[in-house]
Amino acid sequence: MVDRGIFGTALAAPIVAAAAVWAVLAAGLAHVEPRYVVKLAMPDDAGVIGLPKVEGPADASRPLVVIDAGHGGHDPGASGQDGEREKDLTLMLAQSMRDALLASGRVRVALTRDTDRFLVLAERADIAHRLNADLFISVHADAASSAEARGATIYTLSDKASDSVAEALAARENRADAVNGVSLAGKGQTVSSILVDLARREMRGSSQRFGELVVREGTDAITFHTQPQREAAFVVLKSLDLPSALIEAGYISNSEDAKAMRDQTWRKSFARTVARAIEIFLAERQAPALAAPNDVQ
């Protein structure tokens, strides 16, 4: 993988040179505070991964959902008692969700991965950014030390986890980057302003609304964890400026949940339910535009 560390060796010299120039200027201008230019290395074109294909209606005005199958490649994720691997279940779940959305023909869909390949967390979010997605959903399968724990959970982003279990889960999922020896977490997040804070708050509110809809629509169809809607600090959601959620479809550590996730019929039912919540969510977000003052007689 391409190292996107802030100070690439190629840029070390320009930084030193720029700093020296400013040091000289500062010495000559007694009343001017010393200033330094810091250049940030951006990934070059060769380091940017190709965008996945967008499926669905050939109408760019239709909302776009990016579905991210967690883990993949050399990162198998959590394991089940019967040898299930999280990366396989997440891919099958993501594909089922894509198929359910495409069946209705209302939205466009892209998968961050459609094969067994590895992506660092920031690349997953970056795909949603670059495609200008309306919603980003990362799919995972949970694991707990207690084999009893089961059910689906919808996580949205928070700086603080809603409980210690959510915190431990976020820590585990966030470790995926370390597997690859590249840590991209938190880079480029130096901008802080009231506007950014407001936008983030709005996005977090929207993301929570999506979580509510999944729980509401799934009441009869999905077995949820006793606390189905939670918050945690997931790296994969952190840099996103669009509504996003991480769905743990069930516990791979629970044999019944693992069996269900292996079952295509179960996945189809799960995917249909989530797809309905997605469509309601997107319709709600479009509704204010339809009800704009200009349209009112």
Q: 3-state DSSP helix/strand/coil percent for the chain, to nearest 5?
A: 45, 15, 40
Q: How far is the CB of 216 from Zn ion (least distance, A)?
A: 24
Q: Following CA atoms 191, 42, 60, 274 in sequence, which dihedral angle do they give, to the nearest 10 degrees?
A: -70
Determine the residue with CB nearest Zn ion: 140
Write out the residues near Zn ion by the rule CB under 5 A: 70, 77, 140, 173
3-state secondary structure at position 155? strand
Nearest to Zn ion of 207, 253 (CB atom): 253
Q: How far is the CB of 269 from Zn ion (least distance, A)?
A: 21
Q: How far is the CB of 65 from Zn ion (least distance, A)?
A: 19
Nearest to Zn ion of 22, 183 (CB atom): 183
Q: How far is the CB of 140 from Zn ion (least distance, A)?
A: 3
Nearest to Zn ion of 42, 147 (CB atom): 147
Return the ∠ at Cα 109 (arms to 105 and 110), rounded to 5°: 155
111 forms beta bridges with 67
Nearest to Zn ion of 85, 276 (CB atom): 85
Backbone angles phi, psi at 155, to 5 degrees: -105, 135
CA–centroid distance for 111 within its chain: 12
Q: Cα(224)–Cα(251) distance, rounded to whole angstroms?
A: 10
Are the C-beta atoms of residues 112 and 68 closer than 8 Å to each other? yes
Nearest to Zn ion of 65, 143 (CB atom): 143
Q: How far is the CB of 81 from Zn ion (least distance, A)?
A: 17
The single-letter code of the amino acid at 237 is L
